[in-house]
Amino acid sequence: MGKNQHVMPHERGWAVTADGAAAPSSVFKTQSEAWEKAKSIARKERAEALLHGRNGAIRTRNTYGHDPCRSKG
């Protein structure tokens, strides 16, 4: 399983950063562009994409590959 991808606010827009990375892999002007890139990387790596708001709280998360939590419905 690959590294989770986080979309977080950045001084130049929105950054896509992998777990444990010192620097973002990509920076985009819009949150939407960054979110699409993060989901694409997470799909390829069978990881999770996490979208953070301006306050740093996780707003949305998508899991690709092994979902650790099984729930009905």
Instruction: Map residue 41 onto helix, strand or coil.
Output: helix
Residue 49 has pLDDT above 70, yes or no: yes
What average pLDDT does the segment 36-56 reach?
Answer: 97
High-pLDDT (> 70) share of the chain, %: 89
Residue 44 parent element (H or E) = helix 31-45
The pLDDT, as a whole number, for residue 65 is 80
CA atoms within 13 A on the CB side of 52: 16
Q: What is the mean pLDDT of residues 34-62?
A: 97
Locus of tokens 């998360």: 61
Query: Are the C-beta atoms of 20 and 3 separated by less than 8 Å?
Result: yes
- Model confidence, pTM: 0.86
Mean pLDDT value across residues 15-42: 97
